[in-house]
Structure 1
């Protein structure tokens, strides 16, 4: 295992900072930029631009581990406009091949049909603020203020809001028709059955991020989060036997699926690591659990992060650990210092784990 920094459309200054922090691997998300998107939704990639971009990254001495694939609104569209969804799928399959041609062998994607639901920020240590989801406090009319979309980290929510939602093809729950459990699985199966054969042909691993957060039984605003439980993750992996069908295992999101994450996460991590189908890890921590949690610094959450690393090792995982979703503060507007702390903390845990048997 090793640290890999997750960056959103970094410039030269940001990449130089990463190398100065000792980062040697990166996971990149360029959704909503000229490199991979047009005005929003699914758009065709330019293999020459993509290859040149990878080489530019490598010029800093960095290895590009994973690149983000924006699936746009294909999941919802597959339920109401199957012909349109098939056209989008054809573009996505071609983008998978172009990624391989550009020298990229792993893509991450998200099966969120609506924005990543959050409620108000909570006070954190030293005046920092923690993103939270407290179901008892949830109001649909506050989605635009507190929830966010998958192009970055929540910041209440400069990286979210309607503009970012349009770029990602994601919507607020109250803007879409109901999605039952069966419809949720139908949409995901449509995507997996289309993408994975293309990934097999291209030799590209596909890392899927689970639903964030786990929704209450019966859904929220008529939307079911079917990959919002450990059983949902198991069923998702069972959709294809391909070794290229796997997970962007978000440790924080999986922890949100349990009322007592401290009791459940270590065996769950080892279980999924042993499948060989975790392709990258979002290495973050939460305080609280199912339907009532805050995203906190990695050292102050309920999951023992050292034991988590040991569990990944016992399961045979040897890939990237990406710090993710740190708190927000006016003292660190770009969260570079907070992410640097998370990187250093993770590196220290890895060094400590290397000195002790799993």
Structure 2
């Protein structure tokens, strides 16, 4: 049976945080920041004893850890600058620690996989004045050069060099290595539609797959693309975690997109759920990127100024999204009889 997870960028969760998540019916926590764990600041990767203590504490509230994030690989690494190999060593050590702690899914971030200058961010005002993330190609009047083929291939080569070392460790320590698609999926992004598929072609391991973001992929092609990719990747057993969110418009159709509440975007989320069920997905659904509702205060983030990228105690948008997903899962049971 599919479960519900939420994203936290901090490991400093209070008892109240964990009680509320349990009350809302959340099953798991996904940690979205590689620096969230004790030990990373001091030694470059998490401390195992501290991680096990955190896991036991989370479990005592009826929850578990589902997905973690490895230390970031920066532009310095992607450009193969002197001293950059330490970053990959930290990621490898982090993978070993997460494996020893029994964490099922890990994500590696690669800086430079998006081109945020190609779209202009704006505040999308939706029903009742809710604020949501919008991005438009048309509002961007200054012309920027796309990467050359040579630059694209050099970036891909560095990605492969990292994965060649990470994948065997993931296999040895039984961790699923899931890649998130490039968001926003502009042409030539490393992990847009074509680049995203190249990952499993280049690394056909059972431990290599996806943190599949429905919203991000809809930004590139809407509901038809999402349904096709879920069917394709799901049949291959490559869906490790699903970011379950809705959007309006897409870059090819509207030259723009806007994030939306689960019931208020272009996609029928129950139809998405049926497709996930059809391919046998039984992982977590995460209500990623929630519009900002009345009364919600979020931390300022220049990269994501008009959306909520992590759960917090007073965020009613997340409470709404969690309840919506729980209702869809209950309806799915009845639908299947």
TM-score range, shorter chain: 0.7 to 0.9
Number of residues of Structure 1 aligned to a counterpart in Structure 2: 312
- Contact 1:4 1:322 (C-alpha < 8 Å) held by counterparts: yes
Deviation at 1:306, TM superposition (A): 0.5
Instruction: Tell me, in whole angstroms, the C-alpha distance in 1 between the residues paired with 2:269 and 2:115.
Output: 24
Deviation at 1:114, TM superposition (A): 6.0
Instruction: Tell me, in whole angstroms, the C-alpha distance in 2 between the residues paired with 1:34 and 1:207.
Output: 19
Aligned to 1:150: none
Secondary structure of 1:295's counterpart equals strand
Q: Structure 1: which 5+ runs fail to align?
A: 142-172, 217-223
Deviation at 1:121, TM superposition (A): 1.5
Instruction: Tell me, in whole angstroms, the C-alpha distance in 2 between the residues paired with 1:191 and 1:238.
Output: 16
- Contact 1:78 1:190 (C-alpha < 8 Å) held by counterparts: no
Secondary structure of 2:249's counterpart equals strand
Instruction: Tell me, in whole angstroms, the C-alpha distance in 1 between the residues paired with 2:229 and 2:139.
Output: 29
Runs of 4 or more, structure 1, over 4 Å off, are 176-179
Secondary structure of 1:51's counterpart equals helix
TM-score w.r.t. the length of structure 2 is 0.84
User: Paired residue for 2:20, among 11, 17, 20?
Assistant: 17
Deviation at 1:30, TM superposition (A): 4.6
- Contact 1:123 1:130 (C-alpha < 8 Å) held by counterparts: yes
Instruction: Tell me, in whole angstroms, the C-alpha distance in 2 between the residues paired with 1:285 and 1:116.
Output: 22
Secondary structure of 1:65's counterpart equals strand
Aligned to 1:279: 240
Instruction: Tell me, in whole angstroms, the C-alpha distance in 2 between the residues paired with 1:116 and 1:249.
Output: 20
Aligned to 2:138: 136
Instruction: Tell me, in whole angstroms, the C-alpha distance in 2 between the residues paired with 1:321 and 1:178.
Output: 36
Change over 3 Å in CA distance of 1:115–1:35 after alignment to 2:
farther
User: Paired residue for 2:173, among 195, 199, 202?
Assistant: 202
Q: Structure 2: which 5+ runs fail to align?
A: 299-307, 309-314
TM-score w.r.t. the length of structure 1 is 0.80
Instruction: Tell me, in whole angstroms, the C-alpha distance in 2 between the residues paired with 1:332 and 1:15.
Output: 19
1:24-44 Cα distance to aligned partner (Å, 9 max, x none): 2222235444625328xx912
Aligned to 1:297: 261
Deviation at 1:337, TM superposition (A): 0.5
Instruction: Tell me, in whole angstroms, the C-alpha distance in 1 between the residues paired with 2:121 and 2:106.
Output: 29
- Contact 2:77 2:85 (C-alpha < 8 Å) held by counterparts: no
1:164-189 Cα distance to aligned partner (Å, 9 max, x none): xxxxxxxxx99x99982212311221
Aligned to 1:119: 121
Instruction: Tell me, in whole angstroms, the C-alpha distance in 1 between the residues paired with 2:28 and 2:281.
Output: 16
1:47 aligned onto 2:48:
yes
